[in-house]
Chain A
Amino acid sequence: MLQVNDLHASINGKAILNGLNLTIKPGEIHAIMGPNGSGKSTLSKVLAGREEYVVTSGSITYQGQNLLELAPEERAHQGIFMAFQYPVEIPGVNNTYFLHMSLNAIRKARGEPELNSVDFMRLVRSKLKALNMDEGLLKRYVNTGFSGGEMKRNEILQMSLLEPTLAILDETDSGLDIDALKIVAKGVNTLRSPQRAMLVITHYQRLLDYIQPDVVHVLSGGKIIRSGDKSLALELEAKGYGWIQDYQEAA
């Protein structure tokens, strides 16, 4: 589904990704771990199409297409969703309206009929229920004045509504209490299906107690230096990132 080959990317002339390779197949959940500054967030932004991040070489193929040719909204239409590490406030824009516009934009781009307000509300309520969330967030302005936990829950709500093919969670777990963490995990686990893939970027192993990844990668210095199964995450947790850096230097 996703194939990243020898990816180099930079921001403001500073190289962040230095030859990253990653292959994700449908149905898989991949976790990317790594210390601060290793390039985790850059990877998610390059995948989502943030223009400030310049791809200097390498390629990204998504469902057989050259992803780098697509605008951010086109990527969204193709089923790429990114849960933001820092969701953005949009004052004055009602959250329900935003979700409705977003869902319909994607449905329209895919040639599916748009949902009217009644059907949309029904859908949102069912998603909220599935996630054990209340309706309070819907009535507020997009992310405006939300606590960190509310923002992340709102991201998960959007993800479950938009039903992406490839979901990228950019440190969605950071700063969350255990209840919010469970909601995030539930959102991910509910969406898990043989057609879908997920890329979970995290600093801590904690989230992986609730989400079982198929593959765990360790990112350092802008490349993946080690990949393994879930036990790699536990090993990291036990030994710390210093261990992996030593490992890298030794290699």
Chain B
Amino acid sequence: MDAAQRHVEQMRQTGYAAGFVTSIESDTVAPGLDEDVIRFISAKKNEPAYMLEWRLQAYRKWLDMQEPEWAHLRYPRIDYQAISYFSAPKSAKAAPKSLDEVDPELLRTYEKLGIPLQEQKILAGVAVDAVFDSVSVATTFRKQLADAGVIFCSISEAMREHPQLVQQYLGTVVPQADNYFAALNAAVFTDGTFVYIPPGVRCPMELSTYFRINERNTGQFERTLIIADKGSYVSYLEGCTAPQRDENQLHAAVVELIALEDAQIKYSTVQNWYPGDETGKGGIYNFVTKRGLCAGDRAKISWTQVETGSAITWKYPSCILKGDDSVGEFYSVAVTRGAQQADTGTKMFHIGKNTRSTIVSKGISADRGQNAYRGLVRINRGAENARNHTQCDSLLLGDQCGAHTFPYIEVANPTAKVEHEATTSKIGEDQLFYCRQRGLSQEDAVSMIVNGFCKEVFKELPMEFAVEARKLLAISLEGAVG
């Protein structure tokens, strides 16, 4: 073999190792989960050795764990061996060829939300050749972020480019074996987002996964890690209002937030995964573990979520208030209709002194939807002068739906002040009639009343997101009354 040939051969081999895409079909592993699959994923992602070890550890723990059954949710048993744990990129053959092949109902919703055609295709999973228009926009943003010293990249990239940060923080807020779904995620997560804000930096823009929309099909086992260093600020937006289809039914994401001294993280989510048909068939099962650590004094973490999608939602974005004077907030709107079920809420762990938390949860149920708020407020022994205020309101539309509230309060320090308010109301005939007498249609009236009900949460969302969320809510509840 001459030198040139040897060089080509070498290039070919190292090229492959570096993740050159070969044939698409060979990038999908057969259904089932064992250590080989995890090794395959880690190799595919070209991960450092420490990551593989970490995944395998998680997997071994997972094997000994039981799927939780305490949630107010009913769904058939999940066969974890029937799932394919690596299927990116999406096979072009399975995808719809054009929008003509997409559920017209879904398209109608896109129209209403005013989503451009090209984006509609991406959301509906149509195989598109053209690279997404916003890539150039994204590049501009990246430059601006880099100038500020902000790291915003995929977590796979971060493992390679910023191994120290990843190793230092990954799994520190949500440990590998935190719960069944988090352990599964730790073993098999395929991608996600990494953010690092350097000390004293106010992130110059709202960070959104939207800019990374070209990295598709990472929704199944996503892992997000956001670190706000001392005195920094970041606002992060996850998801989008348009209903997203995904061929993977089981989603088990993990999000970890770390706010150091005087840092603030604002995390907003709009979740609108496919809820399935009338009976819930085909809908996404969304088992998410989200937790933030206020590691330093005066740190603040604020979760805002608008959950309208998925057949099953199981998520409890939580805050560990370790630093003195740290603040945790949770604002949530969860809508269930059709056969949707949601068991969602938060946990606030007060550890530091003078820690404060606020919980505002708004559950809306229509049709046969079931909505449960489940929340824990724990005041540890050392948490002098901790404060919590919880407000938990449920709105029922119709008489076949359900609202359930499971608040847990554990107080180990006598100086704590914990308040819990809960209401359940039915959308009033009186309210509807009043609006209609003033000329509003039944639908506009429902939309207005529900949006009013959610006001306290929507005002926490970044402006454009709030506008979209309002629209989304109106569409989600179309025809729910009368």
Query: Which residues of chain A have a CB within 8 Å of any CB of chain B?
Result: 48-52, 71-73, 75-77, 81-82, 84, 87-93, 98, 101-103, 105-106, 109, 141-142, 158, 162
Query: Which residues of B, 409-459, contact A by the 8 Å Cβ criterion?
Result: 428-431, 433-442, 444, 448-449, 451-456
Q: How far is the CA of A93 from the CA of B434 in the complex (A)?
A: 13
Q: How far is the CB of A108 from chain B (nearest CB, A)?
A: 9
Closest Cβ neighbor of B438 among chain A residues: A102
16 contacts between A and B (CB under 8 A): A49-B436, A73-B441, A75-B437, A81-B437, A84-B434, A89-B431, A90-B434, A91-B452, A92-B456, A93-B452, A98-B448, A102-B438, A105-B444, A106-B439, A109-B439, A141-B452
Q: How far is the CA of A4 from the CA of B448 in the complex (A)?
A: 34
Q: How far is the CA of A92 from the CA of B427 in the complex (A)?
A: 14
Digitize B110-147: 1 where CB-to-A-CB distance is under 8 Å, 0 elsewhere: 00000000000000000000000000000000000000
Is A101 touching B444 in the complex (CB atoms < 8 A)? yes
Q: How far is the CB of A17 from chain B (nearest CB, A)?
A: 18
Q: How far is the CA of A82 from the CA of B436 in the complex (A)?
A: 11
A106 partner residues in chain B, CB cutoff 8 A: 438-439
Is A158 touching B438 in the complex (CB atoms < 8 A)? yes
Question: Which 6 residue pairs across A and B have the least CB separation, nearest first?
Answer: A92-B452, A92-B455, A93-B452, A102-B438, A76-B439, A72-B436
Q: How far is the CA of A99 from the CA of B84 in the complex (A)?
A: 54
Q: How far is the CA of A25 from the CA of B40 in the complex (A)?
A: 85
Q: How far is the CB of A145 from chain B (nearest CB, A)?
A: 14
Is B448 touching A101 in the complex (CB atoms < 8 A)? yes
Q: How far is the CA of A89 from the CA of B430 in the complex (A)?
A: 9
B448 partner residues in chain A, CB cutoff 8 A: 90, 93, 98, 101
Q: How far is the CA of A50 from the CA of B429 in the complex (A)?
A: 9
Q: How far is the CB of B425 from chain A (nearest CB, A)?
A: 10
Q: How far is the CB of A37 from chain B (nearest CB, A)?
A: 20
Is A73 touching B439 in the complex (CB atoms < 8 A)? yes
A109 partner residues in chain B, CB cutoff 8 A: 439
Is B440 touching A101 in the complex (CB atoms < 8 A)? yes
B454 partner residues in chain A, CB cutoff 8 A: 92
State whether A162 and B438 are in contact (beta carbons under 8 Å apart), knowing that A92-B455, A101-B444 are contacts in the complex. Answer: yes
Is B439 touching A88 in the complex (CB atoms < 8 A)? no
A75 partner residues in chain B, CB cutoff 8 A: 437
Is A72 touching B437 in the complex (CB atoms < 8 A)? yes
Is A102 touching B439 in the complex (CB atoms < 8 A)? yes
Is B439 touching A105 in the complex (CB atoms < 8 A)? yes
Is A52 touching B429 in the complex (CB atoms < 8 A)? yes
B436 partner residues in chain A, CB cutoff 8 A: 49, 71-73, 76
Kindly name the residue among A73, A141, A162 whose own CB sees the greatest number of chain B CB atoms within 10 A.
A73
Q: How far is the CB of B360 from chain A (nearest CB, A)?
A: 12
Is B435 touching A90 in the complex (CB atoms < 8 A)? yes
Q: How far is the CA of A141 from the CA of B453 in the complex (A)?
A: 11
B429 partner residues in chain A, CB cutoff 8 A: 52
Kindly name the residue among A88, A102, A106 whose own CB sees the greatest number of chain B CB atoms within 10 A.
A88
State whether A92 and B451 are in contact (beta carbons under 8 Å apart), knowing that A52-B429, A101-B444 are contacts in the complex. Answer: yes
A102 partner residues in chain B, CB cutoff 8 A: 435, 438-440
Is B434 touching A87 in the complex (CB atoms < 8 A)? yes
Closest Cβ neighbor of B482 among chain A residues: A51
A91 partner residues in chain B, CB cutoff 8 A: 452-453, 455
B434 partner residues in chain A, CB cutoff 8 A: 84, 87-88, 90
A76 partner residues in chain B, CB cutoff 8 A: 436-439
Q: How far is the CA of A49 from the CA of B435 in the complex (A)?
A: 12
State whether A48 and B437 are in contact (beta carbons under 8 Å apart), knowing that A88-B428, A88-B431, A105-B444 are contacts in the complex. Answer: yes
Is A105 touching B440 in the complex (CB atoms < 8 A)? yes
State whether A72 and B433 are in contact (beta carbons under 8 Å apart), knowing that A88-B428, A101-B444, A162-B438 are contacts in the complex. Answer: yes
Is A90 touching B431 in the complex (CB atoms < 8 A)? yes
Q: How far is the CA of A50 from the CA of B455 in the complex (A)?
A: 28
Q: How far is the CA of A77 from the CA of B439 in the complex (A)?
A: 6
Q: How far is the CB of B411 from chain A (nearest CB, A)?
A: 30
Kindly name the residue among A51, A158, A162 whose own CB sees the greatest number of chain B CB atoms within 10 A.
A51
Q: How far is the CB of B112 from chain A (nearest CB, A)?
A: 18
State whether A90 and B441 are in contact (beta carbons under 8 Å apart), knowing that A76-B436, A84-B434 are contacts in the complex. Answer: no
Q: How far is the CA of A87 from the CA of B442 in the complex (A)?
A: 18
Q: How far is the CB of B225 from chain A (nearest CB, A)?
A: 35
A52 partner residues in chain B, CB cutoff 8 A: 429
Q: How far is the CB of B457 from chain A (nearest CB, A)?
A: 10
B431 partner residues in chain A, CB cutoff 8 A: 88-90
A87 partner residues in chain B, CB cutoff 8 A: 434
Query: Which residues of B, 151-175, contact A by the 8 Å Cβ criterion?
Result: none
Q: How far is the CA of A210 from the CA of B415 in the complex (A)?
A: 59
Closest Cβ neighbor of B433 among chain A residues: A50
Is B437 touching A92 in the complex (CB atoms < 8 A)? no
Kindly name the residue among B435, B438, B444 whose own CB sees the greatest number of chain A CB atoms within 10 A.
B438
Q: How far is the CA of A93 from the CA of B430 in the complex (A)?
A: 15
Is A105 touching B428 in the complex (CB atoms < 8 A)? no
A158 partner residues in chain B, CB cutoff 8 A: 438
A73 partner residues in chain B, CB cutoff 8 A: 436-437, 439-442
Q: How far is the CB of B302 from chain A (nearest CB, A)?
A: 20
Q: How far is the CA of A51 from the CA of B434 in the complex (A)?
A: 12
Q: How far is the CB of A162 from chain B (nearest CB, A)?
A: 7
B438 partner residues in chain A, CB cutoff 8 A: 76, 98, 102, 105-106, 158, 162
Closest Cβ neighbor of A168 among chain B residues: B437
Closest Cβ neighbor of A82 among chain B residues: B437
Kindly name the residue among B435, B451, B453, B456 whose own CB sees the greatest number of chain A CB atoms within 10 A.
B435
Closest Cβ neighbor of B428 among chain A residues: A88
Q: How far is the CA of A71 from the CA of B444 in the complex (A)?
A: 14
Is B449 touching A90 in the complex (CB atoms < 8 A)? yes
Q: How far is the CA of A162 from the CA of B451 in the complex (A)?
A: 24
Closest Cβ neighbor of A104 among chain B residues: B439
A92 partner residues in chain B, CB cutoff 8 A: 451-456
B430 partner residues in chain A, CB cutoff 8 A: 88
Closest Cβ neighbor of B434 among chain A residues: A88
B451 partner residues in chain A, CB cutoff 8 A: 92-93
Kindly name the residue among B429, B436, B448 whose own CB sees the greatest number of chain A CB atoms within 10 A.
B436
Q: How far is the CA of A78 from the CA of B447 in the complex (A)?
A: 23
